[in-house]
Structure 1
Amino acid sequence: MNLLSALEKAFSESPQNLEENPRVAYAGTRGSYGEEASLSFFKGTGELFPCKTFDDVFEALNQGTSDYGVLPIENSSTGSISTVYDLLSKYQYYIVGEEEVRVRHCLLAPKGANLQTIKEVYSHPQGFSQSQDFLNEYPQWQCIPYYNTAIGAAYVAQKNDPNLAAIASKRAGEIYDLLVLAEDINFSQTNVTRFVIISRELKFFKDPTRVSIAFHLPHRPGALYEIIGVFSVFSLNLCKIESRPLLNQNWEYLFFVDFTGNISQNTLANLIPIIQEKADYFQFLGYYPQYDQTKI
């Protein structure tokens, strides 16, 4: 089935509803921001499956053991999470929704530890980046990247060593019985991570307002300018553009674009063929409801 036929079918079946007991894979473990995003989006229903890596989430969908995946795609302080963009391109799955989570990092350690005993700190690289100002005050600490903030907290709890600490949520500290040595250590107090909900199938839930696409352009002057102009003609608002290098094609890029506006089936049916004609490659990533900002 070609893309326009798939879109027509999805529109004819919309709005779709979530299954009663969906199987949801997320990156992390109990106490992670990914679990929080999953619980919020699916309103506590369904069965959650923690995964160690982002790739594991996609593989859970690929093997049919999960109906949806929940993955962080960008942070308001440190920007896009490039690995997730690369995996979206690789697996060709769809974004069906989004969720935002307020990030409040804490330095967690076993009972008996204090700031003077710490020698090693475990967290996801994003946790380190978002807490860099705090970490700069303790240059003697060795920061060790780990799969996920909460998985790092679980590891520190298991080791029960006062020389070890983790950067994770306060909830992770409560779950793994760790002390909070420092609270709100991220450098931005308005730190938010945006998560996307992915599916093997193209689905449109109620009131979709945001479209995500990806495309590769011919390497010639004005190619990107021409594409950007198309969105203006259709009175669409580009709310994000991201580029990722193409493997085995030096200095060539895959562009990921999100846009909003007065979007209808007719809009997409007219817009997409124009972009496809100008692009060497085109991928439709999803049409889904934007997160309600009043909830943050």
Structure 2
Amino acid sequence: MRAANERVRVAFQGERGAFSEEAAIKLLGEEIELVPRPTFEALFTSIDEGASDYILAPIENSLAGSVHRTYDLLLERTLHIIAETIIPIAHHLIGCPQASFDDVRVVESHPVALAQCERFFAAHPHIKRVVAEDTAGSVRRVIERGDPAYAAIAGERAARVYGGRILREHLEDHHENYTRFVLLSSEPRVVADGDKLSLVVRLKHRPGALYYALEPFARRAINLLKIESRPVAGQPWQYRFYLDLQAKMGDPELDAALAQLRERADEVRFLGCYRSAQRTEKERF
């Protein structure tokens, strides 16, 4: 049993200085204990292994789209969404302390980060790009190597953590670049003033199944915020649908819609009811 004065442990994928670390601190504050995990698989087993109390996982980027591995692992583990946060993604070119931009010949980073900086690479064709596991780990390796010819693309936090030098700021092609993260717990928790509901639904394989599943929500003016389909492992051409709804638990209209959904679907799994990040930001500022 954990002592009352022990810090809450939050696991994230990547190394210190990653965007996920920044998101965890934004959501829960500086007083948490951060638990880096090397892969998504290691991240999603961290609670069961006793390494963390919560998991923070990226679920969607405004440019790259959904993080499919997160969706798939959500079903493999019995985890529940209890909160979410959104952070802006700003990509910087980070070198070792003595480097200058003219020295750089090789840049490494996560493949998504590299893909979001196409204009930079088009303008500097002599710079070779190298795919790496994560953004922050790329900065760490650049600093350890100490070669001015090598740089990394990552966030400002990674530069501070590892003592790197920012050689160029805002390399991203689009400045409106955001990633949404969800906080996962092994125990369900319905937030009293939660206004966002996440479900996963498996439908009958017949014409109109998706329409009939969503119709009870549309008829009651319950807003569908997002829908994502993922294949069912081992059953070709069968799919589950992840739904985000703007709704509050206890609403009679929601209860009626969910009751109809359960009648029309083969499986309905409740993932969580929590406060939307957009609402939290509006109230904060």
Superposed pair shares fold, TM > 0.5: yes
Q: Between Structure 1 and Structure 2, how many residues are aligned?
A: 279
Q: Distance in 2 between matches of 1:137 and 1:184?
A: 14
For residues 82 and 44 of structure 1, the distance between their equivalents in structure 2, rounded to whole angstroms, comes to: 29
> Partners of 2:252 and 2:229 in 1: how far apart?
27
Find the counterpart in structure 1 of residue 36 from structure 2.
50
Native 8 Å contact 1:122 1:145 kept in 2: yes
CA offsets per residue over residues 162-210 of structure 1, 9 Å max, x none? Answer: 2321110122112212221210111121211111000011012341110
Distance in 1, matches of 2:119 and 2:198, equals 33
CA distance change for structure 1 residues 244 and 142 in 2, over 3 Å: closer, same or farther?
Answer: farther
Rate the CA distance shift 1:92–1:273 in 2: closer, same or farther, 3 A. Answer: farther
For residue 263 of structure 1, report the CA deviation from its aligned partner.
4.2
Query: Contact 1:28–1:150 at 8 Å: present in 2 too?
Result: yes
Cα distance, 1:25 vs structure 2: 0.8
- The aligned residue for residue 57 of structure 2 is 71
Q: Does 1:108 align with 2:107?
A: no
Aligned to 1:62: 48
Task: Tell me the SS of whatever aligns to 1:31.
Answer: coil
Tell me, which stretches of 5 or more residues in structure 1 are unaligned? 1-18
Q: Using the alignment, how far apart are the partners of 2:251 and 2:223 within structure 1?
A: 17
- Separation in 1 of the partners of 2:128 and 2:89? 23
State, as a whole percentage, how many aligned pairs show the same letter.
Answer: 35
The answer (yes or no) to whether the contact 1:235–1:261 under 8 Å persists in 2 is no
Q: For 1:138-171, what per-residue CA distance to the aligned partner results, in whole angstroms no more than 9, with x for missing partners?
A: 3443333322211111121111222321110122
Structure 1 residues 281 and 135 mapped into 2: Cα distance closer, same or farther (>3 Å)?
farther
The Cα of 1:79 is off from its aligned counterpart by: 1.3
1:60 partner SS: coil
**Amino acid of the residue matched to residue 171 of structure 1?**
R
TM-score, normalising length from structure 1?
A: 0.86
Check if 1:222 corresponds to 2:208. Answer: yes
Unpaired stretches in structure 2, ≥5 consecutive residues = none
Give the secondary-structure state (helix, strand or coil) at the position aligned to 2:272. strand
Secondary structure of the equivalent of 2:167? strand
Tell me, in whole angstroms, the C-alpha distance in 1 between the residues paired with 2:20 and 2:169. Answer: 20
What SS class does the counterpart of residue 136 from structure 1 fall into? helix
- What amino acid sits opposite 1:226 in the alignment? Y
Is this contact kept in 1: 2:84–2:181, CA < 8 A?
yes
Partners of 2:131 and 2:257 lie apart in 1 by 42
Q: Shift of residue 267 of structure 1?
A: 4.8
Length-normalised TM-score, structure 2 = 0.89
Aligned residue number for residue 293 of structure 1: 281
SS, match of residue 199 in structure 2: strand
Name the CA distance, whole Å, in 1 between partners of 2:73 and 2:102.
Answer: 40
Let me know the Cα RMSD of the aligned residues. 2.2
Shift of 1:281: 2.5
Aligned to 1:154: 140
- 1:169 maps to what in 2? 155
